[in-house]
């Protein structure tokens, strides 16, 4: 038996040789002296058990949080979070009817992905106690006036100093921080399939929806795929980079890892921070137009399937499986209307 191979009894009792599973791929940021923190946000819509969803709503208001739809549910969610150690930093009423958002505090990347899964379970349990069902779907209903995002924030530090504050670049961004943003943006058109994981993602990833449909970055810019959050009193965890294009139909483990891989690649290649886009990119003159990210699922999969960077990041096995499953979804559901898809997949990402 050669090194790195294991013998197992075959179906007919013969010893078959199988390659030992490859060692887990390391992101390599730590090996390069960079410490990483990741924290995610989750938006969701509460439906009544009978599938309806309505009532008065005040976006970002206190009313929904104190009213029946919110108060008992949010109190139970906070208790469950405390019991399970989920770092629930904030909960608020979003702008869509019956839409809430929670923000999870920063942790190491793997725990951040675990926390997304735990949060979805706890939201499901708390909602159930109050007769609701949460939908995390990018488009929970064509009647709902808002889509659900699952934005991901990350921050990098080297020797305790943030790469995104204290420097001489825009908003204090240091050269390595700028390279990380550049790397993230460079791979975004081909990696969008890792972050926007379903046919419904395209109905969310549209200009004017605060989903970051434009391939650019900007300070607190909700139309930019990469929204920069500077170190201010309003950001108690310090400066972070927010990837807005992510929705809950993505695999959080893959999406977080792809985001960090692309940022790290930008640092390794010493890329320069691209020009910042302030304001709505859709309002820029034609000469300065910012491209939109692919949002049509066949195109998303075509660019992902042609990406050698995706194979370098995820490996052949993951890419083959991912493209097969997602291609099947396009084949089976590709011709369905947005309304039919919203209904069919409303609770697919609920637990």
Residues that bind ligand GLU (CB under 6 A): 43, 146-149, 204, 209-211, 222, 244
Minimal distance, residue 41 CB to ligand GLU, in Å: 7
Closest to Mg ion by CB, 91 or 182: 91
Q: Provide the token pair at 325.
A: 């499953």
Decide which of Mg ion, ligand GLU, none touches 204; Cβ closer than 5 to 8 Å per partner kind: ligand GLU
Minimal distance, residue 199 CB to ligand GLU, in Å: 16
Closest to ligand GLU by CB, 106 or 149: 149
Minimal distance, residue 227 CB to ligand GLU, in Å: 8
Minimal distance, residue 332 CB to ligand GLU, in Å: 25
- Judged by the rule CB under 5 A, the positions of this chain that interact with Mg ion are 101
Closest to ligand GLU by CB, 127 or 243: 243
Closest to Mg ion by CB, 101 or 223: 101
Minimal distance, residue 209 CB to ligand GLU, in Å: 6
Among 182, 199, 186, 190, residue whose Cα is nearest residue 319? 190
Decide which of Mg ion, ligand GLU, none touches 261; Cβ closer than 5 to 8 Å per partner kind: none
Q: To 10 degrees, what angle do helices 109-129 and 252-268 make?
A: 150
Closest to ligand GLU by CB, 176 or 242: 242
Rounded CA-CA distance 221/270 in Å is: 24
Decide which of ligand GLU, Mg ion, none touches 152; Cβ closer than 5 to 8 Å per partner kind: none
Decide which of Mg ion, ligand GLU, none touches 147; Cβ closer than 5 to 8 Å per partner kind: ligand GLU
Q: Provide the token pair at 342.
A: 């919203």
Decide which of ligand GLU, Mg ion, none touches 77; Cβ closer than 5 to 8 Å per partner kind: none
Closest to ligand GLU by CB, 94 or 176: 94
Decide which of ligand GLU, Mg ion, none touches 215; Cβ closer than 5 to 8 Å per partner kind: none
Minimal distance, residue 94 CB to Mg ion, in Å: 5
């Amino acid at each position: 038996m050669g090194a790195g191979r294991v013998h197992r009894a075959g179906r007919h009792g013969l010893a078959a040789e199988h390659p030992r599973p490859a060692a887990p791929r390391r992101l390599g940021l730590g090996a390069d002296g960079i410490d990483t923190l990741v924290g995610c946000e989750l938006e969701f819509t509460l439906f009544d058990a009978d599938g309806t969803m309505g009532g008065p709503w005040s976006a970002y208001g206190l009313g929904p949080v104190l009213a029946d739809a919110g108060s008992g549910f949010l109190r139970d969610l906070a208790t469950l979070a405390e019991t399970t150690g989920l770092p629930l930093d904030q909960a608020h009423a979003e702008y869509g009817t019956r839409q809430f958002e929670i923000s999870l505090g920063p942790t190491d990347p793997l725990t951040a992905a675990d926390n997304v899964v735990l949060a979805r379970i706890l939201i499901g349990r708390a909602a159930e106690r109050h007769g609701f069902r949460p939908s995390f779907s990018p488009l929970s209903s064509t009647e709902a006036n808002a889509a659900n995002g699952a934005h991901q924030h990350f921050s990098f530090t080297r020797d305790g100093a943030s790469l995104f504050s204290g420097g001489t670049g825009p908003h204090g961004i240091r050269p390595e921080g700028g390279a990380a943003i550049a790397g993230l943006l460079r791979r975004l058109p081909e990696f969008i399939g890792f972050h926007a994981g379903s046919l419904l993602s395209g109905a969310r990833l549209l200009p004017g929806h605060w989903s970051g449909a434009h391939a650019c970055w900007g300070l607190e810019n909700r139309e930019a795929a990469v929204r920069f959050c500077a170190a201010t009193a309003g950001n108690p965890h310090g400066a972070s980079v927010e990837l807005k294009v992510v929705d809950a139909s993505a695999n959080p483990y893959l999406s977080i890892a792809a985001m960090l891989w692309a940022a790290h690649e930008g640092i390794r290649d010493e890329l320069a921070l691209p020009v910042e886009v302030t304001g709505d990119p859709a309002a820029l003159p034609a000469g300065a137009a910012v491209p939109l990210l692919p949002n049509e699922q066949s195109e998303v999969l075509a660019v992902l399937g042609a990406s050698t960077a995706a194979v370098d990041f995820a490996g052949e096995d993951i890419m083959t499986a991912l493209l097969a499953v997602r291609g099947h979804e396009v084949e089976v559901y590709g011709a369905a209307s947005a309304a039919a898809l919203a209904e069919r997949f409303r609770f697919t990402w609920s637990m």
